[in-house]
């Protein structure tokens, strides 16, 4: 007669512990699931409030680093080619500021930091002596079509080999407020400062810089697909009404909804952000 093991056997009982009659282990009970969910909710309540701060810190640190690198690339270009890069984005259509620059809460373009104005004959000569002779004029108004890209391809000339427009005294360029220049770049408030956008058609691209960077923000209104959010390189062309013999670069600024900001403003915001 075969001796059949009984479930009362210690070895069999150990093997069957935690098993159902069909040989499968049971899942979590409803109470265990509720405990797990409560733990996840508690962790989320701790992490979610600080995620925007992480995004803000990353945005500010990246922006500050980009501005410093752009300034180095411009200086490197000047040293290698005996003049500043040419064919900048004027941020105008030649007559007025384009309407897809970042706007503040009141609808003001870059918080009023930029105005469209013409160069004097002396200021034009100062730019030309520095190697800046032409720009790629931009579409004046965002047409709102899928094919239009405010940051990546905002130009009037869409030919395979676009031709830049020579700068003249009738070409209106973007001028930075002297007060903003003094505040962000620590330069004279009596100077006149032209702001050029660093776009993909600038002659610096492919020589001292691989690509023209755009700024990425956590603000939906500052998305590169909606607004022109590149970096601006600032050139001084005159002081106290007298044109310089040669324009000189005074710094790089980030184009944002709150206006144009420099490296120090980004670093200050990085350290002042709520922890």
pLDDT in tens, 143-202: 988 889 999 999 999 999 999 999 999 999 999 999 999 999 999 999 999 999 999 999
Q: Angle 51-81/263-272 helices, nearest 10 degrees?
A: 160
Q: How confident is the model at residue 7 (pLDDT cuts 50, 70, 90)?
A: very low
Per cent of the chain over pLDDT 90 is: 60
Number of neighbours of residue 238 by Cβ within 10 angstroms: 19
Q: What is the pLDDT of residue 275?
A: 46
**Alpha carbon distance 263, 54 (integer Å):** 19
Q: Comparing C-alpha atoms, which of 48, 46, 60 is closest to residue 272?
A: 60
Q: What is the mean pLDDT of residues 31-44?
A: 77
As a whole number of angstroms, the longest Cα–Cα distance in the chain is 119
Number of neighbours of residue 194 by Cβ within 10 angstroms: 25
β pairing state of 165-166 and 172-176: unpaired
In this structure, are residues 98 and 228 in contact, taking their beta carbons and an 8 Å threshold?
Answer: yes
**Alpha carbon distance 87, 187 (integer Å):** 25
Judged against a pLDDT cut of 70, whether residue 270 lies above it is answered with no
Q: What is the mean pLDDT of residues 125-131?
A: 98
Per-chain mean pLDDT for the chain: 84
Q: What is the pLDDT of residue 209?
A: 94
């Amino acid at each position: 007669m075969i001796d059949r093991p009984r479930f009362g056997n210690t070895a069999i009982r150990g093997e069957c512990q935690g098993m159902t009659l069909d040989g499968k282990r049971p899942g979590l009970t409803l109470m265990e699931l509720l405990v797990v969910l409560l733990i996840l909710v508690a962790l989320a309540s701790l992490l979610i409030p600080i995620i925007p701060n992480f995004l803000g810190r990353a945005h500010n640190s990246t922006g500050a680093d980009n501005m410093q690198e752009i300034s180095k690339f411009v200086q490197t270009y000047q040293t290698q080619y005996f003049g500043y890069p040419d064919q900048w984005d004027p941020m105008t259509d030649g007559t007025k500021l384009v309407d897809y620059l970042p706007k503040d809460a009141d609808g003001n373009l870059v918080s009023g930091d930029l105005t469209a104005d013409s160069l004097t004959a002396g200021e034009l000569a100062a730019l030309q002596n520095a190697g800046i002779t032409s720009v790629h004029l931009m579409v004046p108004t965002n047409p709102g079509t899928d094919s239009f890209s405010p940051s990546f391809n905002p130009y009037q000339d869409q030919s395979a080999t676009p031709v830049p427009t020579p700068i003249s005294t009738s070409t209106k360029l973007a001028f930075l407020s002297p007060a903003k220049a003094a505040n962000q770049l620590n330069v004279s408030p009596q100077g006149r400062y032209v702001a050029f956008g660093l776009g993909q058609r600038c002659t610096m691209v492919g020589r001292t810089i691989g690509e023209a960077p755009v700024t990425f923000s956590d603000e939906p209104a500052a998305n590169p697909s909606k607004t022109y959010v590149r970096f601006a390189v600032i050139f001084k062309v005159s002081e106290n009404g007298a044109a310089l013999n040669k324009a000189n670069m005074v710094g790089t600024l980030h184009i944002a909804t709150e206006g144009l900001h420099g490296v120090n403003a980004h670093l200050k915001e990085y350290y002042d952000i709520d922890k």
